[in-house]
Structure formats: C-alpha cells, structure tokens
Amino acid sequence: MDWDLQEAVAYHKAQGAPGAHSAVVALLKEAQAACGGALSPAVVGQLAQGLGVKDSFLLAVVKRTPSLRLEGKHLLQLCAGPNCGRRTDLERLARSLADPKTVTVELTGCMRLCGKGPNLRYDGRLYHAADEALLRQLLGKEERS
C-alpha cells in the first residue's frame, strides 16, 4: 500500500487535527479510501493514537459523518419527511430485516425528493420509490421462490 498512516496523521495535524473537525474528517476519508472503502477498528485505533485522542472520539466523528463507515457496518437512512414517512412503514420493516450487528437503521429529516419517494440512503447511495423488495435486496433478505 502506498498510503502511509504516520505521514497522513502528520499532514492533517499540520492542518489543525484533532482540533479542526474538517481536518479530522479529511484524515478519516483518506484512511477509508486507502483501506478499501471502510475503516477497520485497528486503523481507527492507530489514527487515534497518532492524533493523541481516544478511539471513541474518532468513532463519534465516523458515526456523524454519512460518507464514513466502519468495516462490516452498513448505514441505512430512511427519509422521515412528511410525505415519505406518511406513505410507508419502511422503518418497522427495515428494523425487522436488518441485523443490528451489521446495519445501522436511522431516520433522517426530509431528503427533499418528495416526488420520487419514499426515499432511502444505503451506505451513502440514494434510492427512490423504496419498497419492501428494495429493502430485502439491499439487506440480502430476498425471498426465495
């Protein structure tokens, strides 16, 4: 791997990390890209050590930044705006289908795409006209014929 963790930490510390939130997020995004699209607990630990912060601090930043994700954990966000939330009960279905160890299900504010709803976002990718079949497909729970 061409990416060097210590070099990246030193660069982002010079940009203001860990005090500057944008520098921390930029470092985490860089690490995520270098790690194949998801942050492993080991890498988060190494980054925390390099920045002189607790792992829990970086995990909180990851949790609050939609484009960041931990290895093995997917994020399913359901639009809870007045139109999408009223037209479907996807939250109940998503929570019953999703394994909480591998998928975080959360409601968001209006995604502002009411005419195309119900809307959901899975690992940062937006889907329109969401229904049970789409949820089952995304969560790997397709019914067998």
Integer Cα distance of 5 and 52 in angstroms: 14
* Sequence-ordered alpha helix ranges (H) in the chain: 5-14, 21-34, 41-51, 55-64, 82-87, 90-97, 132-138
Domain count across the chain: 2
Q: Does residue 59 sit in the same domain as residue 78?
A: no
CATH number of the domain at 133, please. Answer: 3.40.30.10
For 75-96, the pLDDT digits (tens) are: 899 999 988 877 668 889 999 9
Q: What is the pTM of this model?
A: 0.55
Nearest to 31 by CA among 54, 62, 76: 62
Integer Cα distance of 115 and 51 in angstroms: 45
So what's the pLDDT on residue 120? 94
In a domain, 143, yes or no: no
So what's the pLDDT on residue 106? 87
So what's the pLDDT on residue 142? 63
In a domain, 84, yes or no: yes
Q: Does residue 19 sit in the same domain as residue 60?
A: yes
Name the stretches of the chain with pLDDT < 50: 1, 144-145
